[in-house]
Amino acid sequence: MPKLRKPKIPDAVVPPPLRKPAKPGSAGTPKGQAPSDLKEAPERKSAGDKMLEVGKEAPIDALGWVDQRLAASGFLTGMLFRKVPKGTNWFYTLGSATLFAFIVQATTGVFLAMFYTPSATQAYSSIAHINNEVPLGQLVHGMHKWGSSVMVILIFLHMGRTFFFGAYKYPRELNWVIGVVLLILTMTMAFTGYLLPFDQRSFWASIVGININGTGPVVGPYLSDFLRAGPELGATTLSRFYAIHMLLVPGAIIALIGAHMYLVVKLGTTAPPWVKAQRPKVAAPVAPLEAGANGNGRVNGNRANGSPVDGEETSA
């Protein structure tokens, strides 16, 4: 893979200690003239102006302090300033949209967890409390509830994009496999979350879902037993679904999204199938100094018939 040129980082975002010193005589003055700060006595700044200047530089200084210790700017520059293939279009935003939906789910989920009680007797009333009494509770609950459907729709669209663009082929097979696991985990989140309000609809829908799992070959019955956490759907089922929904699956999703993103950055994205690959511009071999010495009429690599690529020469 060709090495990407590092983009120039604007001076304004580089902390002062890391900035390149200006070349002598180049500090905004035309050649041959002394810099203005040498001609006139420096202007005295008031304490307020100095404070303002320090205040303005403070965030950049703080970032510089962190960066000197983490050396993260090289990694971030490489990650954020990537070249993308020709023909990249709106369909390529579906992965980021799925990521955004996940972040919304994680954020709203944290706020819901502050008020939700995972108990068979209190779950329903705690959701009613969130919707009716907690400030913005109905909004946050609504975002989480509808957001789950949005994420499921987006993940399928993203999978469709990668499938129809052939992005599952070499060398991205592993990223496809990670994607499949992410799809299963996302569906698990949607399924386990559905039971949490513990109302009539979620209760009966979960029984249907658990029974469907039970029909799977070999592992099906074990899976449905594991999910039900007892002979009947009840309080232990709710606790189990809550632990899976809150701890197990989000942790796995975060780790896998990290691996997925690493591979996207490492391998780059696929060009759309209708964009033809360009022939690499092969430098023609350097010909001997004496023109015509090798008998093919080349002088310094230029062929007599003008063909630029090896193997393209015709017999004519």
Given 172, 228, 240, 298, the residue binding ligand HEM (CB under 6 A): 172
Q: CB of 104 within 8 A of CB of 219?
A: no
Closest CA to 181 of 287, 75, 258, 88: 258
Closest CA to 256 of 159, 158, 175: 175
**How far apart are CB 219 and ligand HEM at their closest, in Å?**
21
| CB-based contacts of 100-107 (< 8 A; 24+ apart in sequence) | 101/147, 101/150, 101/151, 101/154, 102/151, 102/253, 102/257, 104/143, 104/147, 105/144, 105/147, 105/148, 105/151, 105/189, 106/250
**How far apart are CB 270 and ligand HEM at their closest, in Å?**
4
Residue in the structure block whose two tokens are 């700017």? 73
Given 64, 102, 123, 141, the residue binding ligand HEM (CB under 6 A): 102
Nearer residue to ligand HEM within complex by CB, 140 or 257: 257
Closest CA to 195 of 219, 221, 229: 229
Closest CA to 254 of 181, 303, 190: 181
- Cα 30 from Cα 131, distance rounded (Å): 67
Nearer residue to ligand HEM within complex by CB, 99 or 229: 99
155 sits near ligand HEM (criterion: CB under 6 A)? yes
C-alpha dihedral (186, 212, 193, 225), degrees to nearest 10: -110
* Amino acid in position 118: P
Name residues whose C-beta falls within 8 Å of residue 254's C-beta, 6 or more positions apart in sequence. none
* Amino acid in position 37: D
Given 182, 195, 196, 233, the residue binding ligand HEM (CB under 6 A): 182
202 sits near ligand HEM (criterion: CB under 6 A)? no
159 sits near ligand HEM (criterion: CB under 6 A)? yes
153 sits near ligand HEM (criterion: CB under 6 A)? no
217: enclosing H helix or E strand: none
14 sits near ligand HEM (criterion: CB under 6 A)? no
**How far apart are CB 273 and ligand HEM at their closest, in Å?**
11
79 sits near ligand HEM (criterion: CB under 6 A)? no
98 sits near ligand HEM (criterion: CB under 6 A)? yes
Q: CB of 91 within 8 A of CB of 161?
A: yes
Nearer residue to ligand HEM within complex by CB, 150 or 229: 150
Nearer residue to ligand HEM within complex by CB, 98 or 237: 98
Given 179, 192, 196, 210, the residue binding ligand HEM (CB under 6 A): 179
**How far apart are CB 200 and ligand HEM at their closest, in Å?**
31
- Per-residue binding string, ligand HEM, 229-268, x by CB under 6 A, is ----------------------------x--x---x----
Rg (CA), the chain: 31
95 sits near ligand HEM (criterion: CB under 6 A)? yes
168 sits near ligand HEM (criterion: CB under 6 A)? yes
298 sits near ligand HEM (criterion: CB under 6 A)? no
Q: Which residues bind ligand HEM (CB under 6 A)?
A: 92, 94-96, 98-99, 102, 155, 158-159, 162, 165, 167-168, 172, 175-176, 179-180, 182-183, 186, 257, 260, 264, 269-270
